[in-house]
Amino acid sequence: MIRPARRRQPAAAVATLLTTVLLLAACGAPPKVQTALEDVGKSDGSATEGAPKGFEDFYGQSLEWTDCGEGFQCATASAPLSWHDAGAGSIEIALKRIPASGQKTGSLLVNPGGPGGSGVDFVGDPARFGQSLRSSFDIVGFDPRGVGQSTPVKCFDDAGKDEFLSTDYPYTPVGLANRQDAVRAWGQACAENTGPLLEHVDTQSAARDMDMLRGVLGDDELNFLGFSYGTQLGATYAGLFPDRTGRLVLDGALDITLGSDEVALQQAEGFESALRAYVTDCQASSSCPLTGDVTSGLQQIQSMVENAEPNPIPTSTERSVTKKLAFYGVAVTMYDEGSWPFLTQALQEVFGEGTGDDLLYLADVYNDRNPDGTFKSNSEEAFRAINCADGRAEEDMAKMRELAAEIEEAAPTLGESFGYSGIECTDWPYPPAEQEFDPAAKGAPPIVVIGTTNDPATPYRWAESLANTLSSGTLVTYEGEGHTAYGRSNTCISTAVEDYLVEGKVPEEGLTC
């Protein structure tokens, strides 16, 4: 399964655009897990009301906000290692906020997706948020447990991670066995270098952290803006705490009723549709390197990716573009139509010169890799750990083979890369968390769900399903390309989002922008 989240906002330069699109390292000793709630002040307010028994100190802690440049304020909160064992110790949750510029009505928590995207990094660009939001709310980004500047998941060192992300494993019995061995080694490294946190990075635990943050921030209800995986996080919160749910906007929705195998199939179909739209657009220009009709153009992309397995594409560096990296390089540009020209440029180089520098650059942006081989974030580590903590795909090899064939038939261009998702949690050190929330979130106020009609990573049908699953879901449709809508589409979407979050004005039923 491809990482379905954290990508937005077109920008003028490729680096700015694609880094924003992704949003989402080194391994060492396991991070410290405190044995008690250390060095945290207590508040005298009502924050502890509704706190689970034994966790009152976490809800009652006082945050020390410090100036962290350019008008931002940063803080670190303590959260319990386990929400089922108050005595298990604590971890850290990193926070960054844009203080309200006007009359503050409360806080707005935001999550850019992933799982593994950094909310701390996300709020670093205030222009993502409309003026009315910035005026009315302290906009608070946080790194969920296991992510970024919070107590992180750690697995391989940079060299090992680089090899893991670039090595091809043919879809043969031997190749698949080797892939299982690599994933098994990854999981073992995560357990060794992360410590006990690895068992507690599931989405339900992160949602419980959000309720604690709500109390610590002094809000009676949680207001939340979540993108992609952030919609799963928001829906989980509403299912756990419907009576504390305030105004939630879930953009680029995940269907929380689907299993991992269904997600892989439907996401592959989404990327196929997005690629078809890209090729159609590309071939309208005389500079497009894809010849023939749209089907022929798609086949040329497929051949380029497939051929990179036996014959990696050379670059001007010592690295080459493997099949896996070629897939990443193509896929990353599907998240925003503003990045399509960069894929065209990369294809011009591959087909014209036989080299893949531009394609490799795109793959590195997807993987958050720096030119020197280090990584900007632990998004890959967190992505895998959280997904494995939340659930598992079909692990029977014969059934995986059947599903892979179905995916390839539905999405012939890149579908092969979505197959065998059951391998990705091979012998994971911990079992998945048991579901403890109501998917319908009965009793919650209106929840706005946004879907983009040709979203590759979170197909539109997922937004329809989430809006129907939530007892108070209201669907807003953006007719367009790319992943998510708010901040990268039009004033119709931004008005609907901001009017609801600021004024409580629920979008009209069936609103299409």
Query: Any idea which residues carry the catalytic annotation?
Result: 228, 455, 483
Written as six digits, the tokens of 27 are 């391994």
Q: Which residue has 């929840």 as its token pair? A: 447
- Rounded Cα gap, residues 166 and 223, in angstroms: 39
- Rounded Cα gap, residues 46 and 244, in angstroms: 14
Ramachandran sector of residue 427 (left: φ over 0; alpha: ψ -120 to 50; beta: rest): left
Residue of 437, 434, 405, 435 lying closest to 419 (CA atoms): 405
- Rounded Cα gap, residues 70 and 277, in angstroms: 39
Written as six digits, the tokens of 89 are 């110790």
Inter-residue contact 120 to 346 (CB < 8 Å): no
Ramachandran sector of residue 114 (left: φ over 0; alpha: ψ -120 to 50; beta: rest): left
Inter-residue contact 484 to 122 (CB < 8 Å): no
Other C-beta atoms lying within 10 Å of the C-beta of residue 96: 23
Beta bridge partners of 222: 245
DSSP string for 115-131: TT--HHHHTT-GGGS-H
Inter-residue contact 240 to 450 (CB < 8 Å): no
Angle formed by the axes of helices 397-410 and 260-282, nearest 10°: 30
Q: Which residue has 């299993």 as its token pair? A: 259
Other C-beta atoms lying within 10 Å of the C-beta of residue 29: 9
- Rounded Cα gap, residues 241 and 224, in angstroms: 13
Angle formed by the axes of helices 379-390 and 173-194, nearest 10°: 100
Q: Which residues contact 117 (CB under 8 A, 6 or more apart)?
A: 5, 6, 23, 24, 111, 147, 228, 229, 230, 379
Residue of 113, 315, 360, 350 lying closest to 233 (CA atoms): 113
Q: Which residue has 């609801």 as its token pair? A: 500
- Rounded Cα gap, residues 90 and 144, in angstroms: 14
- Rounded Cα gap, residues 79 and 55, in angstroms: 9
- Rounded Cα gap, residues 444 and 448, in angstroms: 12
Written as six digits, the tokens of 192 are 């060794």
Q: Which residues contact 411 (CB under 8 A, 6 or more apart)?
A: 268, 269, 271, 272, 418
